[in-house]
């Protein structure tokens, strides 16, 4: 599966446009000598009603950067709301770093 995005660099920050919204996905460092791209991962299972066995779950992997405000209160209010053994929320942001290779004299 291939994707293509319109991107823009503003003040050394890299953005892509998704649904008319700019999404921060990375940084350009030291006048284009280094590029950092962020990929965010999310997986959760939250029990909504234990008696009726209803729950909500999601898994995603997208370009961008997760912050705590993206999780709380969007999914649940706080981690204290996770009361069942099966419930979990896992999110992370992984950075990929690429550097311009320069030929140095030996």
- pLDDT in the model for residue 97: 93
Taking alpha carbons only, the member of 14, 5, 7 closest to residue 65 is: 14
Residue-number span of the structural domain to which 49 is assigned: 7-99
104 occurs within a structural domain? no
What's the pLDDT tens digit per position in 41-56?
999 999 888 888 888 8
Q: Characterise 65 by phi-psi region: left (phi > 0), alpha (psi -120 to 50), beta (else).
A: beta
Domains in the chain: how many in total? 1
DSSP state of 87: -
Tell me: cis bond preceding 27? Omega within 30 of 0 counts. no
- pLDDT in the model for residue 41: 94
Report the alpha-carbon distance of residue 47 to residue 32 in Å, rounded: 46
- pLDDT in the model for residue 104: 60
Report the alpha-carbon distance of residue 24 to residue 13 in Å, rounded: 7
What's the pLDDT tens digit per position in 5-32?
888 999 999 999 888 889 999 999 887 7
Q: Are 94 and 41 in contact (CB under 8 A)?
A: yes
106 occurs within a structural domain? no
Of 91 and 4, the structure prediction assigns the larger pLDDT to: 91
User: What confidence tier does 106 reach under pLDDT thresholds 50, 70, 90?
Assistant: low
105 occurs within a structural domain? no
40 occurs within a structural domain? yes
2 occurs within a structural domain? no
Token pair in block for residue 101: 């290779």
User: What confidence tier does 1 reach under pLDDT thresholds 50, 70, 90?
Assistant: low
Percent of the chain at pLDDT > 70 equals 94
């Amino acid at each position: 599966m291939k994707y293509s995005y319109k991107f823009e660099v503003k003040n050394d920050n890299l953005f892509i446009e998704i649904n008319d919204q700019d999404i921060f996905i990375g940084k350009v460092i030291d006048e284009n000598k280094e590029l950092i791209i962020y990929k965010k991962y999310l997986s959760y299972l939250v029990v909504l009603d234990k008696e009726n066995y209803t729950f909500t779950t999601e898994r995603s992997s997208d370009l961008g950067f997760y912050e705590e405000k993206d999780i709380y209160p969007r999914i649940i209010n706080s981690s204290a709301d996770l009361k069942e053994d099966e419930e979990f929320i896992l999110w992370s942001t992984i950075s990929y770093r690429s550097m311009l290779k320069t030929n140095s004299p030996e």
